[in-house]
Amino acid sequence: MTRFCLMDVGSTYTKGCWVDTDHVGILAWASAPTTASTDINEGIQNVLNQLKMSYPDFNHESMRLCSSAKGGLRMVAIGLVEDLTLKAARMACANAGAKLVGAYSHKLNLQELTEIESLKPDIILLSGGTDGGNEEVVLHNAKQLAKLNIKLPILYAGNKSCQDEIHHILSEAKQDVHISANVMPSYGILNVESARDQIRACFLEQIIEAKGLSVLSSVVHDIIMPTPASVLDALSLLAYGTKHESGLGDLMAVDVGGATTDVYSLTSSQASSSGVQIKGLIEPLVKRSVEGDLGLRISAKHVLDLDSELQSNQDLCLYVEKISQEIHGSSESHYDEQLAASCVRIASRRHAGRLEQIYTPMGLETIQYGKDLRSVKTLIGIGGPIVYANDPEQILNQVKQTEVDILLPQRLEFSLDKQYILSCLGLLAKTHPDWALKTMKHHLEKNHG
């Protein structure tokens, strides 16, 4: 089979394309509003009808799909220390394509259990302790989770010494327990791949059914993953390339939505400078962060609270008040662009590493926390607020380094994903990597900043 129908069922719009992997490019592309509140099949069928009109030979005998509809994949992460195992758990959730709705460290109390129940997550990721390290806290937290009044998949990715006991505790409570490798097997060392793969498996096996998306099975033959996971697969291919097709090298991408802002970085090394000492958790070369308080609609008030410059614009403040009351109301692009620029500026600085100079008996030393992104040359803009802006470069320029201690890129070339191809083509990144890479390079629209 060389032809595929690739589809991304988003929270607002459903996008689809018809491709032939024997030829570089996209045969047809279409989009329609997602009908999640009624029958999600309607929006999919509208896209299929458009593709058929654009390309008479179209069929959907081989369809692959990713989805962020109905809230996407919602997760709660639990760890021992906030800057170590909890941070590792958060990264595992983000790299699996999840939206983190809650994060807890140290011993869970009953109030936090009530909070977790009210958040209604799809999956809980429980971590804590290096292998052979702390057992007390993770065992306490497993016993607390056994008291939950909701039943859902709980993935344990902590100290391997406790795996059997934790499996027994949660199984006895009739919870759906899964075990993966420790997300932080030794101090400061990150290992998110096993947990990420388990999260994706849970999404496929159970979350699709729980969200009422199983009705898609009548038209979809392969529901692959949450949309952000497909985007991350596409970006990985775009950065690192294949044996036969070169990638673009180190890159970043930013996606601004109504409630969140996602930042991706894909690099070949942790540090761009010699003579610095890396401290804290060693972050992955492929990293996604999700800022749940930065968005153009649901989170607009919080963006305003974080940006004193925006607060000085009275008309913008009135606009934010209006859209906060009517998130589906009419928008004003010049205000949305200011909000989007603020989201990108704040989110990129949270995502990047930083430098700190300290005095030691050996003299002045430079310490690095997080990833050094100064050598990144390519930035990809994703999502309507960026790609349809009157001045997308003004928004994307916010990623550039302005503070010497924040390790953001210094010079950038911009590309825009105007047809939302990354989420769709990521569905073929594993099975048809050469074709997917060539097609992404062909379709991304370049701008120079």
State the pLDDT at residue 135. Answer: 94
For residues 354 and 288, state if they share a domain. Answer: yes
Residue 318, domain member (yes or no):
no
Same domain, 80 and 41: no
What are the CA-CA distances from residue 267 to residues 31, 193, 195, 246, 374 (Å)?
A: 32, 17, 21, 15, 10
Whether residue 328 lies inside any domain: the answer is no
**Which one of 68, 99, 120 terminates a domain?**
68
Tokens of 361: 């008996």
Question: In the β-sheet with 176-179, what is the strand arrangement from edge to edge?
Answer: 99-105, 74-79, 123-126, 153-156, 176-179
Residue 212 forms part of a structural domain: no
Residue 215 placed within a domain: no
Helix axes 433-443, 227-240, angle to 10 degrees: 90
The dihedral built from the CA positions of residue 137, 140, 142 and 148, taken in this order, carries a sign that is negative
Q: What total number of domains does the chain contain?
A: 3
Alpha carbon distance 325, 303 (integer Å): 15
Is residue 360 one of the residues assigned to a domain?
yes
In a domain, 158, yes or no: yes
Does one domain contain both 38 and 119?
no
pLDDT of residue 295: 87
- The DSSP line for 76-91 is EEEESSTTTHHHHHHH
**Domain closes at, from 23, 53, 68:** 68
pLDDT at 96: 84
Q: Which residues of 280-292 are buried (b: 16+ CB within 10 A; e: fewer)?
A: ebebbbbbbbbbe
Q: In this structure, what CATH number is given to the domain that contains residue 15?
A: 3.30.420.40
Task: State the pLDDT at residue 449.
Answer: 47
Residues 41 and 81 in one domain: no
Predicted pLDDT at 409: 95
Residues 264 and 349 occupy one common structural domain: yes
172 and 249 in a single domain? The answer is: no
Clarify whether residues 143 and 201 are in a common domain: yes
Range of the domain at 63: 3-68
d(CA 58, CA 3) in angstroms, rounded, equals 9
Last residue of a domain, one of 68, 94, 117: 68
For residues 250 and 396, membership in a common domain is answered with yes
Check whether residue 376 and residue 259 sit in a common domain: yes
The CATH number of residue 155's host domain is 3.40.50.2300
Task: Give the pLDDT score at 246.
Answer: 93
Q: Are 246 and 374 contained in the same domain? A: yes
In a domain, 28, yes or no: yes
Predicted pLDDT at 219: 55
pLDDT tens track, the chain, 449 positions: 688 999 888 777 889 999 999 988 899 999 888 765 666 777 888 888 899 888 888 876 788 888 876 667 889 999 998 888 888 899 888 888 888 889 999 999 999 999 999 999 989 999 999 999 999 999 999 999 999 999 999 999 999 999 999 999 999 999 999 999 999 999 888 888 899 888 888 876 665 665 555 555 555 556 567 888 899 999 999 999 999 999 999 999 999 988 789 999 999 887 666 677 888 788 889 999 988 888 888 888 989 999 989 999 999 999 988 888 876 677 788 999 999 999 999 999 999 999 988 887 877 888 888 899 998 999 999 988 999 899 999 999 999 999 989 999 999 999 999 888 999 999 999 999 999 999 999 888 776 44
DSSP 342-381: HHHHHHHHHHS-EEEEEEETTEEEEEEES---TT--EEEE
> Based on the domain organization, do 35 and 130 belong to the same domain?
no
pLDDT value at residue 56: 81
d(C-alpha 416, C-alpha 400), whole Å = 17
Residue 411 lies in a domain: yes
Give the three-state DSSP class for 242.
coil
The string of DSSP codes covering 380-413 is EEESHHHHTSS-HHHHHGGGS--STTB---SS-E
Question: Do 374 and 269 share a domain, yes or no?
Answer: yes
Residue 447 has what pLDDT? 66
Alpha-carbon dihedral of residues 124, 129, 135, 139, nearest 10 degrees? -10
Length of the chain (residues): 449
